[in-house]
Amino acid sequence: MSTFQAPKGTYDLIPPVSATFLAVREAIAAPLKNSGYGYVETPGFENVELFARGVGESTDIVSKEMYAFETKGGDKLALRPEGTASVLRAALEANLHKAGNLPVKLWYSGSYYRYERPQKGRYRHFSQVGAEAIGVEDPALDAELIILADQAYRSLGLRNFRILLNSLGDKECRPVYREALQGFLRGLDLDEETRRRIEINPLRVLDDKRADVQKQLVGAPMLHDYLCDACKAYHEEVRELLTVQGVAFEDDEKLVRGLDYYTRTTFEFVHDGLGAQSAVGGGGRYDGLSEMLGGPALPSVGWALGVDRTVLALEAEGVELDIPPATSVYAIPLGEEARRKLFGVVTELRAAGVATDFAFGGRGLKGAMKSANRSGARYTLVAGERDLEEGVAQLKDMESGEQTAIALDTLVAEVTRRLG
């Protein structure tokens, strides 16, 4: 214990769980890399205005949860609460959309920050892997992204997740719906704050978790009935494509996402073993965001999956990822002279691509063997003065227990051969 602890709402990733984290990140990224998405990395902080405009001034994320600050130089910045606004900003800044190759497909992986009330699955610092496909309006692109997330989760061995799907309409039909919904909501018996929300962000009221509010919402106008023909047709096509590919989803008319930029397709991946924080990932179309950021019209779609919650989902389902041990060979020198010699062998093995570790600190054989066991190494390599005089080291197979003296000059070849 030191005087310091990780800040509230954060936690450290340490072995062995950290290996699961890396594996999850890789499993989510793999289908993206396999589908034409290129890696993008943006700064951990941005101009605060980017999020205010992009994510929406009235959202909880911007109004309550953002780590906003002013630098000594007077710049108003914020730690990024999400990735979409940053990635689109970067794409516009680099003129990727002008290279004539639309959609611009990008994936990312990193840390995000929200000043939320911490609880299981909800942290102030968390990890996402995300994907954005920028500049094309095509239901197949929406379907592609949903299918890739589905593949990622299945490749991890997750089964108890569901895909919720909705359409939020576009700039033609949503305003008409918004007004109808406001008319309905204004007639209800609601508290002051909720009444304010009716005027700023009425769709969020549908998302209210309180039973007395939900009771009053029975009979509220639903967006589904207000979708214009173009939105309806688009949505039907997305549904059809998913169905043909055998990706099961549930229509969820009440799915309202917590970010303002969405249009048309929205979806969430929820896991049933996580309690209140059940959304393991989410995303949708954001056809107007580029223009909100001062760019040209670039209809786009994307998602972000939460790495922390995906790891919790694996735990909830009892899925153990098959993570191979980090070390293949563990080398143990007995004595000063052996230490020098064997350290050279270790360096050689590593250069040959064999994952090798070394017993540092001149501990005895017993302690070193314990470390070798803990490392999960398939082989230990032990050498004392006498072995070295004979030009050999003892290679022990930790599975069979069998031990063989191997000539030092053939060692690298022999170990690589054995490891296949």
DSSP state at residue 103: S
Yes or no: say if 321 and 183 are a contact pair by the CB < 8 Å rule: no
Residue 169 interacts with ligand HAM (CB under 6 A)? no
Binding of ligand HAM at residue 51 (CB under 6 A)? no
Beta-bridge partners for 403: 396
Three-state DSSP at 32 gives helix
Q: Which of 37, 45, 108, 126 binds ligand HAM (CB under 6 A)?
A: 126
Rounded to the nearest 10 degrees, the angle between the axes of helix 17-33 and helix 139-155 is 150
299 binds ligand HAM (CB under 6 A): no
- The nearest distance, CB 178 to ligand HAM, in angstroms, is 21
Per CB under 6 A, the list member of 54, 110, 288, 302 interacting with ligand HAM is 302
| Six token digits for residue 1 | 């214990």
- Tell me the backbone φ, ψ of residue 332, rounded to 5 degrees: -125, 110
In the set 46, 142, 308, 387, which binds ligand HAM (CB under 6 A)? 308
Q: Are strands 76-79 and 68-70 parallel, antiparallel or unpaired?
A: antiparallel
**168 near ligand HAM (CB under 6 A):** no
Piece of 17-25, 241-249, 282-290, 313-321 that binds ligand HAM (CB under 6 A): 282-290
- Give the tokens for residue 254: 């009440």
* DSSP SS3 for 342: helix
Residues, the chain, total? 420
d(CA 193, CA 72) in angstroms, rounded, equals 35
The single residue among 130, 139, 169, 288 that binds ligand HAM, judged by CB under 6 A, is 130
Q: Which of 56, 139, 283, 288 binds ligand HAM (CB under 6 A)?
A: 283
Q: Is 167 in the site for ligand HAM (CB under 6 A)?
A: no
- Does 54 help bind ligand HAM (rule: CB under 6 A)? no
Among 157, 221, 258, 384, binds ligand HAM (CB under 6 A): 258
For the CB of residue 211, give the shortest distance to ligand HAM in the complex, in Å: 24
Candidate residues 62, 190, 280, 395; the one interacting with ligand HAM per rule CB under 6 A: 280
Alpha-carbon distance of 269 to 170, in angstroms, equals 22
Please state the closest distance from residue 342 (CB atom) to ligand HAM, in A: 45
Phi, psi of 101 (to 5 degrees): -120, 75
Q: Is residue 103 involved in binding ligand HAM (CB under 6 A)?
A: no
CA–CA distance, 341 with 388 (Å, rounded to integer):
8
In whole angstroms, the minimum distance from the beta carbon of 170 to ligand HAM comes to: 16
Name the minimum Å distance from CB 262 to ligand HAM: 7
Q: Find the distance separating the first CA and the last CA of the chain, reported in whole Å.
A: 43
What is the residue whose two structure tokens read 């179309």? 285
Provide the binding-site residues for ligand HAM, judged by CB under 6 A.
82-84, 114, 116, 122-123, 126, 128, 130, 132, 258-259, 279-284, 286, 302-304, 306, 308-309
